[in-house]
A and B are shown apart, each in its own frame.
Chain A
Amino acid sequence: MNAWITQFFASYSNIIDLCLLNSLIAYGLFLALSANMFSLATGGFMALGAYCSVYCTMVLGLSFAPAVFAGALLAALAAAAIGVPVLRLRGDYFMLATFAFTEVTRVVALNWESVTGGAIGIFSIPRYTETWHLVLAVAVVVYIAHTLRRSYFGRAIAAIKQDDVVAQSMGVNVFAHRLALFIASGFICGAGGALAAHLNYFIGPGDFGLARSVDALTYPILGGVNALAGPLVGAIFTTLLPEVLRFSNQLREILMGALVVAIVLYLPGGAMSILKLRWPGATARETKLAAATEQAQS
């Protein structure tokens, strides 16, 4: 049995690591989405975290923990810097601005050769990231998200999500709340980038482009933005899908696309809403709640 576990872990540890890493980023996005911020800045934040932490470990010779922290902090600073002007923009404009940030970061990484290695990237990065680091990071982030939801801050965020104009009129400082969440999102994605950089020996500018940002956005949306476990489910699902569908060879990409479309179409609340379908109690409770709300409103 023990041998079996060892072998299983040896064969699949990278998949497990990737699931955890993507979950971490998914929670970073989850925080942003919880205040209706469709951020495409993830790629940029991860790039900052990755390059900064690699610079710390490989050039400055710092140990791993401060390097990850430095990477995360730099990404958080960037989030603050772009958040202040950009968070006043709404909807599509916010998305465009964050997309621009990711592109600019990628182009800088491509051209700042002395630090980033340019298009060739940086290789032979020491492998410091252990599975337990990732487990710990995800656990901490889940705990924070959980506590936040129950706090005054969380209620204010929920109000912003419903309608930011009404929230503002109720005395919630919409801008400050969004900025705080965006910075937290930047911090988490930066830490994710730093952990990713020390996982697979190599980073290059192509790793953190628009594709990364869009992927990161799909995790919580597929999993469900309302449930705490949504990002985790979405990230694991999206990471495992290409591996599970490997048998289908050429059909793989078509199947992946079809599955994602099916989820969006039939489970608009994300994959987590499947639990509600199976859980009559929850549905009943919700109906009761809805009825009560209706009564109160009439």
Chain B
Amino acid sequence: MKRSVFALLLSAVGAMAFSSAAMSETLVNIGIVQATSGGSAALYGVMQKNGAELAIEEINASGRLGDYKLIGIHQDDAGDRGQSVNIFQRLINQEKVAVILGPTLATSAFAADPLAQKAGVPVIASSNTAPGITDMGDYIFRTSPPESMVFPGVLAYVKRKYAPKTAAQIYGIDDTLMKSAYAVHKKALESEGIKIVATETFQKGDVDYSAQLTKIKAANPDILVIGGLAEETANIVRQARQLGIPPSTGILGANAAISNKLAELAGDAADGFTVGSGWFIQYDSPKNKAFVAAYRKKYNSDPDNFAAQAYTSVYIVADALKRAGGVSDLKKLRDAIAATKDLEANNGSFSFDDHREPAVAPKVLVMKGGKFILAAD
């Protein structure tokens, strides 16, 4: 009995394979290199894998690509650079992918992206915000806006609201992301003529910031700018208010600090906390509402901006594939991706600029009652 069921299954699978071959489908392999294990990188990696796989499912179901069927091949690099390179090599040479989405960490990108550039396979990152990513070559794109793209908008808003003359900065010294955010903040503050009266540092995983914040309080700045990830930022915001830095001193954060965890950890103290982002969950557009609903339905949780950016990456590929007329020539595909213009995406209309960076309108978000809302002027 068991055997006959098995045989039946086998023949069914065989028939399916036949029928799909008969339909003359062209399979397009898409490499998804995201860390789903290995510490904090997995937080970002899982979100992006989910976003990308959701988009692939939707596109295949919609039939908008005709005979082309997208196949997502996810590989976990565990946030380890050596593994990212291993995976890139295999995806490019063995799986013959048309495009690679990822990798999760900028340090992995610096090691692995040159291989794709050399092989002429386009790469679209959706979480690398470090400077220099797209400088690696003309096949390297990203949908994650770098800090330098969103922060000027945040500062412009804060200038209107707080009219600051002085600022204090605090940032993580041992992390690529936090440190490059600091440099961007510093440059923007200086170019706006705001005087930096105190600069303090911390290390990843620190929990007590009272020493640094006491010094900052003594300097009495008009605004406080934090270059940190979600957890550190939340602690700093909470402790700053506890130490008596008044609400009239606005607190600004980095793009990477946006997380649902922030409100949880910082509580009421986070009210008024201001950041810039390419996407946020309440962004009001039919496309975004559909994305959020579909994501919730499939994964039973809310997407974050990394999931949203990975989702957009897949739609960019699908759109470019259509315009390039297939994936037989990856140079053509690359050119089509580079020419992406005013694509209807979940964060408004999406284009790539000349440096293959995302050109989306940055949104200034303010924390209110535990939720990020669009800043009202």
Residues in chain A within 8 A of chain B (CB atoms): 7, 10-15, 18, 110-111, 118-121, 123-124, 127, 200-202, 204-207, 242-243, 246, 249-250, 252-253
Q: How far is the CA of A243 from the CA of B89 in the complex (A)?
A: 12
Q: Kindly provide the distance from the CB of B48 to the nearest chain A CB, expressed in whole angstroms.
A: 16
Residue of A13, A201, A204, A252 with most partner-chain B CB within 10 A: A201
Q: How far is the CA of A207 from the CA of B80 in the complex (A)?
A: 9
B93 and A7 contact, CB distance less than 8 A: yes
Instruction: Tell me whether B180 is interfacial, beta carbon within 8 Å.
Output: yes
Chain B interface size, under 10 / 10 to 19 / 20 to 34 / 35 or more: 20 to 34
| Residues in chain A near residue B326, CB distance under 8 A | none
Given A11-B93, A121-B107, A253-B37, 9 more A-B residue pairs with CB atoms under 8 Å apart are: A12-B86, A119-B179, A120-B176, A200-B85, A202-B107, A202-B111, A206-B107, A249-B76, A252-B78
Residue of A nearest to B90 (CB): A11
Instruction: Tell me whether B173 is interfacial, beta carbon within 8 Å.
Output: yes
Known: A10-B89, A118-B179, A206-B107. A18 touches B82 (CB 8 A): yes
Residue of B nearest to A13 (CB): B89
Q: How far is the CA of A220 from the CA of B62 in the complex (A)?
A: 54
Known: A7-B93, A249-B36, A253-B37. A202 touches B81 (CB 8 A): yes
Residue of A nearest to B182 (CB): A119
Q: Kindly provide the distance from the CB of B94 to the nearest chain A CB, expressed in whole angstroms.
A: 4
A-B contact count (CB 8 A): 79
Instruction: Tell me whether B25 is interfacial, beta carbon within 8 Å.
Output: no
| Residues in chain B near residue A206, CB distance under 8 A | 107
Q: Kindly provide the distance from the CB of A162 to the nearest chain B CB, expressed in whole angstroms.
A: 37
Query: What are 18 of the A-B contact pairs (CB < 8 Å)?
Result: A11-B89, A11-B94, A12-B86, A13-B89, A110-B173, A111-B173, A119-B172, A119-B173, A121-B110, A123-B110, A200-B85, A202-B111, A242-B78, A246-B76, A249-B36, A249-B76, A250-B37, A252-B37
Residue of A11, A18, A121, A205 with most partner-chain B CB within 10 A: A11
Q: Kindly provide the distance from the CB of B135 to the nearest chain A CB, expressed in whole angstroms.
A: 8
8 smallest beta-carbon distances between A and B, as pairs: A202-B110, A200-B111, A11-B93, A10-B93, A123-B110, A11-B94, A14-B85, A119-B179
Residue of A nearest to B179 (CB): A119
Q: How far is the CA of A188 from the CA of B36 in the complex (A)?
A: 34
Q: How far is the CA of A77 from the CA of B93 in the complex (A)?
A: 42
Q: How far is the CA of A84 from the CA of B107 in the complex (A)?
A: 36
Q: Kindly provide the distance from the CB of B319 to the nearest chain A CB, expressed in whole angstroms.
A: 30
A7 partner, pick from B94, B174, B180, beta carbons under 8 A: B94
A205 partner, pick from B76, B78, B83, B174, beta carbons under 8 A: B174
Q: Kindly provide the distance from the CB of B40 to the nearest chain A CB, expressed in whole angstroms.
A: 12
Q: Kindly provide the distance from the CB of B242 to the nearest chain A CB, expressed in whole angstroms.
A: 28
Q: Kindly provide the distance from the CB of A143 to the nearest chain B CB, expressed in whole angstroms.
A: 27
Instruction: Tell me whether B247 is interfacial, beta carbon within 8 Å.
Output: no
